[in-house]
Amino acid sequence: MTAAPQSRRFEVLDVDLDGAVALPPDPAGVVLFAHGLGGSGHDERDVLAARELNNVGIATVMVDLLTPAEQRIDAATAEFRFDAAFLGVRVIALADLLAAERETSGLPGGVLGSHSGAAAALIAAAARPQWVRAVASRGGRPELAGEFLQLARAPTLLVVGEYDHPLRELNEEAADRIAGPNRVAVVPGAGHLFDEPGAAAMAAELTRDFFRVLLQAREQAHSR
């Protein structure tokens, strides 16, 4: 199943956020992408992951969590990129929007985060457990969620590169604090950016399989 992404603007919390939505026929679930550096739609690794999810019948929503003005400020000051609470509130607002919209209402939701977007995803999981059924992180900073880790009960997958030793250690420590079932998946031969041959594809396949099992299983249980 393939779905061409359609550009759209999301109005949440009195700001306009740019994004793209891909809706395969009769989707089993929807995954919201949360990129801690703002521009998810321009990240090739996110585009690859979204395509893999669309191919197994899962809708994807890629949104720039920062406005263009905020991205310019962050590029100069790094003011927003480590502010997990700020990003988490926006992910929560987007989750509420998707839960209410006709095309995605009733679908089990998941969040795929990278960088501090992983922490934002876990904050949203703690705040909206009925919508966030699964969380995946790719090269993320889940530990930035702080005490929210102890409230995040959604199944969680933390994907890290084999040679990204500092981040791997942070993810393993965060995994010990996450309330829900979780595991750390290591991509062999990969560094922090997953830019080695085949690394990004393997990370995308790991997140695809994770969401496919959890979201489709929840959808099938709901339909019985």
**pLDDT tens string 200-215:** 999 999 999 999 999 9
Amino acid identity of 53?
L
Ordered by where they begin, the domains of the chain are 6-223 (3.40.50.1820)
182-200 residue pLDDT tens: 999 999 999 999 999 999 9
CA distance 107 to 216: 10
What are the beta bridge partners of residue 170? none
CA distance 70 to 127: 24
What pLDDT score was predicted for residue 42? Answer: 67
Mean pLDDT of 173-178: 98
62-81 residue pLDDT tens: 999 999 999 999 999 999 99
CA distance 45 to 33: 11
Q: What string of DSSP letters covers 23-71?
A: --SS-SEEEEEEETTS-GGG-HHHHHHHHHHHHTTEEEEEE-SS-HHHH
Report field, pTM of the whole predicted structure over 0.75? yes
Q: What string of DSSP letters covers the chain?
A: -----EEEEEEETTEEEEEEEE--SS-SEEEEEEETTS-GGG-HHHHHHHHHHHHTTEEEEEE-SS-HHHHHHHHHH-TTTT-HHHHHHHHHHHHHHHHHSTTTTTS-EEEEEEETHHHHHHHHHHH-TTTEEEEEEEEE-GGGGGGGGGG--S-EEEEEETT-HHHHHHHHHHHTT-SS-EEEEEETT--TT--STTHHHHHHHHHHHHHHHHHHHHHHHHH-
What pLDDT score was predicted for residue 35? Answer: 85
26-52 residue pLDDT tens: 999 999 999 877 655 568 999 999 999
79-122 residue pLDDT tens: 999 999 999 999 999 999 999 999 999 999 999 999 999 999 99
Q: For the chain, what is the radius of gyration of the CA atoms?
A: 16
Amino acid identity of 68?
P
